Amino acid sequence: MSLEKLKALRKRRKEGATIALQKSKAYLLACERESAEKYNELQQYGQWRLQHQEELFSQLQADSFFPDDLGRYMSNVDRMKVKKNQLEEELEAIKLKYQQAEKSLGEKKMALSVITKKLEKLSEIIDIKKKELTSGDGLKEEDVIDEIVAFRAATR
């Protein structure tokens, strides 16, 4: 493979990594919005729950008291607690998803950085070899490729 073909391949990889990074950023923002929405939902439910619980208790006090009334009141309170716990669990799951998205974004940034550095190094090598070839002092392109392959094999 010629150095120019290798450069074109690395450019395509860089483009792919850039697109993956953009998608990862968009996903992170979506997770952030979802987390904020769920937090707001939980806050609103908490306020509603307290008001509704007070209303139920007021009704319980206002009516003549029957043992079944207390059982219904407690049942309603328990259902509201279950709903609150469910919303809290959903919020925690969204936070976990957000943390994973953050981690993925960091990995994508790192991958793009590595690809960019490799492309820059290859571009520098190509420029140097072109200068050497035009001056007549350089090696043939096949020799350059052999040198790169030998260097890679030695560094692994």
**Better-predicted residue by pLDDT, 137 or 85:** 85
pLDDT digits (tens, 9 = 90+) for 47-88: 999 999 998 888 877 766 677 878 888 899 999 999 999 999
Domain 3-155 maps to which CATH number in 1.20.120.1460, 1.10.287.1700, 3.40.630.30, 3.40.640.10? 1.10.287.1700
**Residue-wise pLDDT tens digits, 33-52:** 999 999 999 999 999 999 99
pLDDT exceeds 70 at position 153:
no
Q: Which residues contact 45 (CB under 8 A, 6 or more apart)?
A: 83, 84, 87
Which residues does 4 contact at the CB level (< 8 Å), separation at least 6? 126
Q: Model-level pTM?
A: 0.69
Round to whole Å and give the CA distance between 37 and 87: 11
Where along the chain do its domains lie? 3-155
What pLDDT does residue 155 have?
60
